[in-house]
Amino acid sequence: MKPTVAVLGFLRFPPEKMAEVLPHLRLLVETTYRNDGCMAYDVAEDPFDRGLLRFSELWPDQASLDRHLQAPHLQPWREAVRRCGLLERKFTAYEISGSREV
């Protein structure tokens, strides 16, 4: 199965809060893989901008992404990021019409 939706985005936290964010992030990623039907759900802290987490996600279809956005495990994550001082958030979903290796 090929993905039809890609999501790219970021969250920004105060750098000193990253140790507090990471356990919540790990739970989010593991639960998303286990329950939400994602094909790839990758996140990493930017090595040049401490506190900036970059996300890339691949979903089989929009319905899978929509279910993920309403999944019960997202509410505890959203509460945790607020407690950890979320400074900025931006995510964009893209429809994939085709792909090729570059």
Domain borders along the chain are 5-95
Question: Are the C-beta atoms of 59 and 65 separated by less than 8 Å?
Answer: yes
Give which of 10, 27, 40 is closest to 73, Cα–Cα. 27
CATH (residue range 5-95): 3.30.70.100
What is the residue-averaged pLDDT of the chain?
Answer: 95
| 3 state DSSP class of 20 | helix
Cα separation values, 47 from 3, 51, 69, 70, Å = 28, 9, 27, 31
User: Both tokens of residue 52?
Assistant: 């900036």
Which pLDDT band holds residue 102 (cuts at 50, 70, 90)?
A: confident
pLDDT in tens, 32-49: 999 888 999 999 999 999
Cα separation values, 81 from 8, 75, 78, Å = 18, 10, 5
